[in-house]
Amino acid sequence: MRYYIILLMLAAQIMVLPLDITMMGILSPMIMDDLNMSGSEFILASNVYNIFFAGFFIASGIIVNKIGYRYSLAISAILFALTSLLCAQSLNSTHLIVLRAMQGLSASMVLISCLAFIRIEFSGQRMMLPMAIFSIYIAVGNAMGPLVTTTLAEAASWRWVFYINIPIALLATVTICFLSNNKPENQDAGHPPFLPWFLFGIGLSLMLLFISYSELASYIFYGICALGAFLVYSSVPKNSLRWKSSSLVQSCHSIFGRFSVAGFLYGIGYWSILFYIPVIARVFFKLSDIKTAFFCLLITIPLVISQLLSIFIIRFKGRQFLYHLSTVGATFCTLASAYLFTSDYHLLLLITISILSFFVGLVNSDVTVSALTSVAKEKSGFYAGLNTAVRHSGFGIGILFHQHVQLNTFMFSTKKYSIEPDQVYELSEAIYSHKDILINGASFLDDKAVTLLSNAMMVSLLFASFAFLLSYRVVRPSL
């Protein structure tokens, strides 16, 4: 029973992480005016959190293996509370940039420690319910992020978005210290070196950041990914005995294949949902800011249902059935939603998006359970960090790919629909610069803009459907 109490407290800690990821984009005018930040300083403050958050996954796993999840969670939660307090008290842009980097680092260790806790304390079928609870809290945190952020900012100040982290983090720290006695299971086991993996993670994050600002670099990177997929999955290298017997190749096939593709698919599907729902509320139902924020909470209902239902699917049908169901269902829903977005069946579109979110939730359940059950307990920290880092990279690549397809569709469609250059610029900025349509998108979402966005979404989701089908064909889990 005490482990479930710990789980609930840690899940509450995890739920606030999406707030810190999304709040910078939503509250950009308030923060820039209050701290007199330039545009470049604000971009750096936004990106430095993501760089250290994603870049420290693997290094966090190594730390968890060395000292155990109990100490790593206590240290990281206290550090997260302290940096949140200091972020709220920031006097200038330099303070905020440095503290955001430290906050991202501590948030990364919190996430990996929680995954290690689930893997160590819950085994077999008992792991499913904790994993579902963990995923539900993350989904709710993502959905409630815009609403909580805007409400706190309007009622008090943007600084209160950081203040609410403090009591939750301290409560999680007290709970883990008093209710857990975890220690590293094998002190004599060799641990991977910390510094090389730390530098690898930071380099991977910087690479993703670089390709997000350079279209040419992104296309080169997509080509490298395609070449890597060919080397891992094609039959030509597999016929080579030396290639087939390589442990490195087998590791690439299981980790950099399965989890990166799953992250890519999840990134496309999840980003599509976050894009669809505000547009439906804004354009089709003519809702205000606050009502749109509440409307976006609807997406949590099918996400929660899918997480709970995945427990019974795995128990009675197996993980392979869950994998096939999630990929095929997401494929058909992306095609259907792309078509309905260009039609007048708004209610049917909303229902289809809800079903899409259900299958995207199943994709998330499948890859998370696979990541946790594929490693031994004594190495759970390191492999949880490695799998999360690769999956997060795939998630980022999926979103970037989605955005690039849309931007190219804009360029080909502007003349046909007589869209003004300023309007095209605003549309591009809303997607390519990660602006939140919920807050910044109302001014330019007229009929022509919706038509242009519809065509862009159609093309992008056709690519997403192809990726789902490709995954169904070549990324079969070894179950």
Model pLDDT, residue 230: 63
Residue 385 and residue 339 in one domain: yes
Residue 308: pLDDT band with limits 50, 70, 90: confident
- Pick the last residue of a domain from 192, 213, 234: 213
Residue 255 and residue 288 in one domain: yes
Residue 433: pLDDT band with limits 50, 70, 90: very low
Residue 209 and residue 241 in one domain: no
Model pLDDT, residue 86: 92
Q: Express as a percent the part of the chain with pLDDT over 70.
A: 54
Is residue 447 predicted with pLDDT exceeding 60?
Answer: no
Residue 147 and residue 280 in one domain: no
Residue 26 and residue 76 in one domain: yes
Model pLDDT, residue 426: 56
Residue 209 and residue 317 in one domain: no
CATH code (residue 474): 1.20.1250.20
Model pLDDT, residue 444: 46
Average pLDDT, the chain: 70
Residue 82: pLDDT band with limits 50, 70, 90: very high
Model pLDDT, residue 37: 83
CA 469 to chain centre: 21
Q: Please compute the mean of the pLDDT values over residues 300-326 and round it to a whole number.
A: 80
Give the helix ranges, DSSP H, for 56-92: 57-88
**Cα within 13 Å of Cα(307), Cβ side:** 20
Residue 395 and residue 256 in one domain: yes
User: Domain containing 261: what range?
Assistant: 218-479
Residue 191 and residue 229 in one domain: no
- Pick the last residue of a domain from 189, 213, 237: 213
pTM: 0.76
- Please give the Cα distance from 260 to 253 (Å, whole number): 10
Residue 315 and residue 169 in one domain: no
Over residues 343-355, the pLDDT tens digits come to 667 778 778 878 8
CA 181 to chain centre: 31
Domain count, the chain: 2
Residue 247 and residue 199 in one domain: no
| CA distance to 15, 212, 299, per residue, from 138 (Å) | 5, 25, 13
- Please give the Cα distance from 55 to 203 (Å, whole number): 7
Residue 179 and residue 276 in one domain: no
Q: Please compute the mean of the pLDDT values over residues 25-54 and round it to a whole number.
A: 78
Q: Please compute the mean of the pLDDT values over residues 104-109 and round it to a whole number.
A: 88
Q: Nearest 5 degrees, angle CA 431-CA 96-CA 157?
A: 75
Over residues 194-206, the pLDDT tens digits come to 777 777 777 777 7
Residue 86 and residue 230 in one domain: no
Task: Please answer whether residues 339 and 457 qualify as being in contact, where contact means their C-beta atoms are separated by less than 8 angstroms.
Answer: no
- Pick the last residue of a domain from 213, 233, 249: 213
Is residue 300 predicted with pLDDT exceeding 70?
Answer: yes
Over residues 181-237, the pLDDT tens digits come to 666 655 555 566 777 777 777 777 777 667 666 666 666 766 776 666 666 555 445
